[in-house]
Structure 1
Amino acid sequence: MNELYSKPLVIIGAGGHATVLAEVLQQQPVIAIVSPEKPEALVFEGIKHIQNDDDLVNMWPPEDVLLVNGIGQLPNKHVRRKVAEFYQDLGYQFATVVSPAALVSNSVVLGSGAQVLCGAIIHGETKIGAHSIINTGAIVEHHCQVAEHCHIAPSSTLCGGVSVAKNSHIGASATILPLVSIGEECMVGAGAVVTQNLVERHRVYGPISTIKTERL
């Protein structure tokens, strides 16, 4: 996303994921970062540091800023989602972030707060839900459906027509074959190859020859 956002940006968090987002947003109007500890990454130099949520709320009402959720998303961890819900309940909105180094078809629909990072490719007629992450180098092929609060980890591939239900995690370098459906709150392990539908709250892991499935 090359044009400037309509409002100043505030990044929530200062860990690894926030650092990546700050680098993507270096040409954008980032005015503050919220973190209990002072951020150490060089990319945060010169950006105002706020220690807690109350300070942000007292400084800027919802209509004055857009938020960027810099909390990373791990399997079966809901901190990122809770941060989004906390601020949304207060009336704040989240910026949708697309790296200039990503390739996103014009027919792709991105939900509020979705994040598409460097080297990611999203092909036509695909929908990415609110607050989902399409991470570095991930490939999402045509006519896929990724619901809200999902993480498509680095170098993973969703083949054509795949659907991923909310709160699910597709691990690094995993591959989901065409037309497969992944249920809610599922976890696909790194490097796994999924050839059939996965019902909600299950985990799969291992290469295609030895893949295992278990309930979370």
Structure 2
Amino acid sequence: MAAGDRTIILWGATGHARVLRDILLPGGWTIAAVFDNRPVAAPWADAPLFIGREGFARWRRDWQGALPGFALAIGSHGFAAGKLALAAWLGDEGLSPLTIVHPSAVVEPSARLGPGAQVLAGAVIGAEARIGAHSIVNTRASIDHDSCLGDAGHLAPGATVCGEVTIGHRAMLGAGCTVLPRLAIGDGALIGAGAVVVRDVAPETRVTGIPARPRP
């Protein structure tokens, strides 16, 4: 097999991989292979599945030509730290992360997307917003002006982040939640679906409800 200019591998072989595939294929990308850390079923007949780093080593041994790019098709909050380690390892193996933006997303010209960031259908990235490496701004989520989403963060579908909000690395904001302006969300925090955040959230803290309050 030989790599082309628009060839990519996906790490993750379940739901989020299907979302990325539907963005990539119409854009002329070829998915050379799919990888997963778990023994899952192959998602598509036209892309071989390999399991774990051992599977990657076998694929890498047989690959000919320039190496493809990669995207992490992993949406789970529980694997956020692992995503960054995995991305660093793939970089050490010579692969480069692809930043993916759905054609229907709105990314203001002054916004900045980190390597491997993913902006899905109907999402909005406001002026001067910053999206960290390997973060996900999911379907119809929005992050307003001057806000920052750290590395491996995830705004779930319909999440709304108002202006001048700082969100740490590995934080997960659940579906339909709202974060009011000028707040800080710490590293690894988890905001429950539908929550309304009216005050800062400490690192590694889970909050739910209206207004959002810490939960065990």
- Map of 2:86 onto structure 1: 83
Normalising by the residue count of structure 1, what TM-score does the alignment of the two structures yield?
0.86
The answer for unaligned runs of 5 or more in structure 2 is none
- 1:76 Cα deviation (Å)? 6.3
| Closer, same or farther: CA 61–154 of 1 in aligned 2, 3 Å | farther
- Aligned 1:1-216 pairs, distance under 5 A: 6-27=5-26, 28-35=28-35, 36-40=39-43, 44-51=44-51, 52-60=55-63, 64-75=67-78, 78-208=81-211, 211-214=212-215
CA 1:203–1:61: 2 relative to 1, 3 Å: farther
TM-score in terms of structure 2 length: 0.86
2 CA distance for matches of 1:184 and 1:62?
39
C-alpha displacement of 1:78: 3.9
Retained in 1: the 8 A contact 2:80–2:152? no
Aligned residues of 2:112 and 2:131 also touching (Cα < 8 A)? yes
Deviations 1:75-132 (A, max 9, x none): 4654433432321232321100000111111111000000000111111111101000
User: What is the total number of aligned residue pairs between the two structures?
Assistant: 206
Offset of residue 173 of structure 1 = 0.6
| Aligned-residue offset at 1:26 | 1.2
Q: Secondary structure at the match of 2:110?
A: coil
Q: CA RMSD in A?
A: 2.2
Q: Is the Cα contact below 8 Å between 2:6 and 2:30 reproduced in 1?
A: no
Which amino acid counterpart does residue 130 of structure 1 have in structure 2? Answer: A
